[in-house]
Amino acid sequence: MILSIKEEIKKIFKGEVKDDEQTLLLYSRDASIFEVRPKLVLFPIDTEDVKNIVKWVSENKDKYRDPEINQDWKNLYITARCAGTDMSGGALGESIILDFTKHMNKLIRFDSAKKQITVQPGMFYRDFEKITLEQELVLPCYTASKSLNALGGMYGNNSAGERTLKYGTTQDYILEAKVIFADGNEHAVKPILLGEISDQEEIYKKVYELIKKNEEEINHAKPKVHKNSAGYYIWNVIHNNVFDLNKLLVGSQGTLGIATEITFKLVKNPKYSKLVAIFMNDLEPLGRLVDEIIQFSPETLEAYDDKTMKLAVRFFPDFLKHKGLIGMIKFMWSFLPEFFMMFSNGFPKLILLAEFAGENNEIVHKQCVALIKKIKNFKLKVHITKSEIEANKYWDIRRESFVLLRKHIKGRHTAPFIDDIIVRPEFLPKFLPELNKVLGGYNLTFTIAGHAGDGNFHIIPLMDFKDPNISKIIMELSEKVYNLVLQYKGSITAEHNDGIIRTPFLEKMYGEKIIKIFSEIKKIFDPKNIFNLGKKVIGSDGSGTKEYIISHIANEHTVEHKV
């Protein structure tokens, strides 16, 4: 039956249609802990290809549900995929994978004067950034994996990163998107006035009515944190007399429609930056300290723990590779103050990195000095970096710790499943020790690092995937960590989204009524369930459940993560 479906699709699809073993194995993995094998992988040439496959799947969905006609395909649906860097399993599916990075990766237009750029979803951020930086412009919601990820994935996940504290998430930078809905037609989606809704198609009207009908319940359920990617983001669709459907589509992981063009607004990229490194031996004043730092409007406020720092020292030679002799000497020399400090005072429990940026180097330096003066009463060790090389040593530790873990601990692999929790910064002094206590109850090697200014931390343990108890540990630890997060009124995912790994826990976070609203949203956009089953909403085939998580954890031979 696979061949007949493949041949039918090839009649209406110009791009490549593949089902060879190597391709299916490759697309069975993303950066998550899962292995989910698709039936076909498609590489669309253009928008017409995407429209045609959506129409074909919609028209044939019921036909191939009949087991007498089809014994090989469990279900028929489309999972849109770009770079596959998603840690949640959002880019995995058992049916058709639609990969945009091969062909639909082009620049459509760029207006530097208006600070606007339109691209296809498969464009890699590294290529996108080269274009924008030439005009001293940047999309500031980029992720730590910006050398790997693509723009469509940023749209699908509502991506965020180091500079989100000051600049916001991807949803704040979408001016317009062209999206193919379940009817197989391409729709231009952009903000409209509330008074114009009556002139729009049914999707607009139904979403508006659903939100207005449940307005009180929705407002009460909104997580009181700086960023959140859990569930459908129904809170900002209606705002200041404006109705913006992109607020809902961004972060929906391709479960409501498929974007074919995205128009972003850009910001000016500051010319100069300096980093203030702050070393904390006691977490008690962390909440108050973060409040003080935020008043100075830093570009970033990042953090990593003592385990991360010890890891860097332990595998210090790795940082010296590929730097050349002169770079190696400069890098080692820049670390002397930290080595002296650590030999005399021990490893700090937490290192904060507050980065300031602007158009004038002297003003940037004065901001750093003013911050140090302001937090003098905390009696902390602080250091202002003197060069880009010196600043990069801290960023290297922050960004490379997970890679070092994976590389040096034999027989274990990175396991992102509690990797994106967030609580309000004022709760961190109590929350982080309790989190460490929960994690300490298991024989795990892990580090904690993240965005201290947001209260968003990433935890990726190393685990032995040959351990027969691995599923039990993952599910048990997820429950305990999420219970703690929700006790402090946080979110189970700030940036990395739900995918396979968090969809079953959404009801724990939001309750039954909001989950029902999410299901209604899904029905409005996708009544036949043709888009990315089992993410955000539990699928009719049992996907999106805890049982699905357990049955699709990758085995020892296929598990390998990009972090």
pLDDT one digit per residue (tens) for the chain, 563 residues: 445 799 999 999 999 999 999 999 999 999 999 999 999 999 999 999 999 999 999 999 988 766 666 657 778 999 999 999 999 999 999 999 999 999 999 999 999 999 999 999 999 999 999 999 999 999 999 998 888 899 999 999 999 998 999 999 999 999 999 999 999 999 999 999 999 999 999 999 999 999 999 999 999 999 999 999 999 999 999 999 999 999 999 999 999 999 999 999 999 999 999 999 999 988 889 989 999 999 999 999 999 888 777 776 666 666 566 566 666 566 666 666 666 666 666 678 888 999 999 999 999 999 999 999 999 999 998 989 888 777 877 877 776 665 666 565 666 788 999 999 999 999 998 999 999 899 999 988 887 888 999 999 999 888 889 899 999 999 999 999 999 999 999 999 999 999 999 999 999 999 999 999 999 999 999 999 999 999 999 998 889 999 999 999 998 645 544 33
The alpha helices in 134-188, defined as continuous H runs, are: 151-157, 164-167
Q: What per-residue confidence (pLDDT) applies to 390?
A: 77
CB 560 within 8 A of CB 412: no
Q: What per-residue confidence (pLDDT) applies to 67?
A: 60
The DSSP code for 426 is G
pTM of the prediction? Answer: 0.92
Q: What per-residue confidence (pLDDT) applies to 561?
A: 41
Query: Which residues in the chain are classed under CATH 3.30.43.10?
Result: 2-101
Q: What per-residue confidence (pLDDT) applies to 393?
A: 77
CB 537 within 8 A of CB 255: yes
Q: What per-residue confidence (pLDDT) applies to 1?
A: 46
Question: Which CATH code is given to the segment(s) 2-101?
Answer: 3.30.43.10
Element (H, E) at 462: strand 462-463
Can you say how many angstroms the Cα of residue 448 is from the centroid of all Cα atoms in its chain? 17
Q: Which two tokens stand for residue 394?
A: 């801290």
Least Cα distance to 53 among 13, 6, 105 occurs for 13
Least Cα distance to 172 among 182, 180, 183, 164 occurs for 164
CB 109 within 8 A of CB 118: yes
Q: How far apart are CA 210 and CA 220, in angstroms?
A: 15
Query: Which residues in the chain are classed under CATH 3.40.462.10?
Result: 272-487
CATH of 107-268, one of 3.40.1260.10, 3.30.465.10, 3.10.20.310, 3.40.50.300: 3.30.465.10
Architecture of the domain whose range is 272-487: 3-Layer(aba) Sandwich (3.40)
Query: Which residues in the chain are classed under CATH 3.30.465.10?
Result: 107-268
Q: What per-residue confidence (pLDDT) applies to 562?
A: 39
Element (H, E) at 274: strand 272-280
Q: What per-residue confidence (pLDDT) applies to 349?
A: 87
- Would strands 78-81 and 96-99 be described as parallel, antiparallel, or unpaired? parallel
The alpha helices in 82-185, defined as continuous H runs, are: 125-133, 151-157, 164-167
